[in-house]
Amino acid sequence: MHAIGSKINLLSNDTSKGYYDTVKDLLEHELVQKMKEYTQHGCTSTFQHCINVSYYNYKLCRFFNLDARAGARAGLLHDFFLYDWHTHTKETGDHFHGMTHPRAALNNACRHFELSECEKDIILKHMFPLTITPPSYKETVVIILVDKYCGLVETVSHLISKFRNKKKYIDCKK
Ligand SMILES: [Fe+2]
Ligand SMILES: [Fe+2]
């Protein structure tokens, strides 16, 4: 298991052990695993997207001496809304997934895990400024940037694969 753009195996490499130990219990939870069933950007599953955000949150928070545990754990749960957002509007009439999914993710996360106030803030406000309330923690500012960066890289890498008509893209069209 890797984060996008990183060669480090998050499950075995010693340099990532701190990260893995921080999120192991969440990663193994069946509902977190269920995020593999939903596509987030391009060919990237919601699970992989959350790993990407979680890992880079962890690295950046450590670099800036912030709460890396909160960054990693809330990063993994920030899109824990458990539905296919591509069909969500048609099925529910909710036209504002971009604004409503942080609350859905937080509600799900609180139902299954114990969260700190910082972790709650990270999940609830990760879409700022689309959601109006500004972040209360520096760790939330980190995810706001990391989430957008990962989304952009995931989308662009999908477009490149599509352009090159590689197998990765074909698999995604299943
Ligand atoms: Fe999100
Ligand atoms: Fe996200």
| pLDDT value at residue 174 | 46
Cα(47) to centroid of ligand 1, in Å? 12
pLDDT of res. 46: 97
pLDDT of 88 > 80? The answer is yes
Ligand closest to Cα of 99 equals 1
Residues of the chain with pLDDT > 90, as a percent, come to: 69
**157 or 56, which is more confident:** 56
* Residues 155-159, mean pLDDT to the nearest whole number: 89
- pLDDT at residue number 170: 52
Task: State the pTM of this model.
Answer: 0.91
Among 158, 155, 117, residue whose Cα is nearest residue 139: 117
Confidence grade of residue 168 (pLDDT, cut at 50, 70, 90):
low
Query: How many Å lie between the centroid of ligand 1 and the Cα of residue 18?
Result: 25
- The answer to whether 40 touches 154, Cβ cutoff 8 Å, is yes
Cβ atoms 76, 23 nearer than 8 A: yes
Q: Which pLDDT does position 33 carry in this prediction? A: 97
Distance 48 CA to ligand 2 centre (A): 10
Predicted pLDDT of residue 95: 85
How many Å lie between the centroid of ligand 2 and the Cα of residue 146?
9
Q: What is the predicted pLDDT for the residue at 89?
A: 84
Structure token pair of residue 102: 């942080």
pLDDT digits (tens, 9 = 90+) for 104-149: 999 999 999 999 999 999 999 999 999 999 999 999 999 999 999 9
Mean pLDDT of the residues in the chain: 91
pLDDT higher than threshold 90 for residue 166:
no
CA 10/CA 19 separation, integer angstroms: 8
**Domains in the chain and their CATH numbers?**
14-172 (1.10.3210.10)
Ligand number, closest to the Cα atom of 76:
2
Are the CB atoms for 49 and 40 separated by under 8 Å? yes
* Ligand 1 centre distance from Cα of residue 46 (Å): 9
